[in-house]
């Protein structure tokens, strides 16, 4: 029996302390957009799970999971609004079509149609306030 076989039991690797450490590190790698790889003593490491697989799994999950509170949209709007220029902002802009002004343009279009309604309500409010003296 080789030395490696003595270190890694033949049963389920995840049932070992080393297996749990590997799993934790590998999950962290995927969350940090790094591939999970297996070593190769004579060449390039073998990619076991590509970082893109997590994106695809999340996309599938999101497509199958209703979001009645529009949390994803809220996150995107907030990131675009902040405009900090970081990678989160860049991804949010890419997610909404590549134009950072598209969210502002949508907001403008939604609000503009109510301009006269606002004006009339403001006039009435001002009139009542003047008449009552508050």
Sketch the domain layout of the chain as residue ranges.
Answer: 1-65, 68-134
Question: Which pLDDT band, with edges at 50, 70 and 90, does 34 fall under?
Answer: very high
pLDDT of 74 strictly over 50: yes
* 0.75 surpassed by pTM: no
Output the pLDDT for position 1.
43
**C-alpha–C-alpha distance, residues 13 and 22, integer Å:** 9
Give the separation between CA 66 and CA 47, rounded to whole angstroms: 32
Of the pLDDT bands very low, low, confident and very high (cuts 50, 70, 90), residue 3 is low
**Checking phi first, is residue 115 left (phi over 0); if not, alpha (psi -120 to 50) or beta?**
alpha
Residues 19/27, Cβ–Cβ less than 8 Å: no
């Amino acid at each position: 029996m080789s030395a490696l076989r003595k270190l890694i039991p033949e049963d389920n690797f995840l049932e070992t302390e080393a297996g749990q450490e590997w799993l934790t590190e590998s999950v962290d790698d995927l969350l940090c957009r790094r591939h999970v790889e297996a070593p190769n003593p004579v060449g390039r490491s073998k990619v076991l799970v590509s970082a893109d697989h997590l994106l695809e799994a999340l996309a599938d999950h999101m497509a199958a999971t209703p979001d009645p509170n529009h949390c994803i949209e809220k996150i995107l709007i907030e990131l675009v609004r902040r405009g900090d220029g970081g990678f989160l902002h860049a991804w949010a802009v890419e997610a909404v079509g590549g134009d950072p002004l598209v969210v502002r343009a949508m907001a403008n279009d939604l609000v503009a149609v109510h301009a006269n309604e606002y004006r009339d309500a403001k006039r009435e409010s001002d009139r009542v306030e003047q008449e009552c003296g508050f």
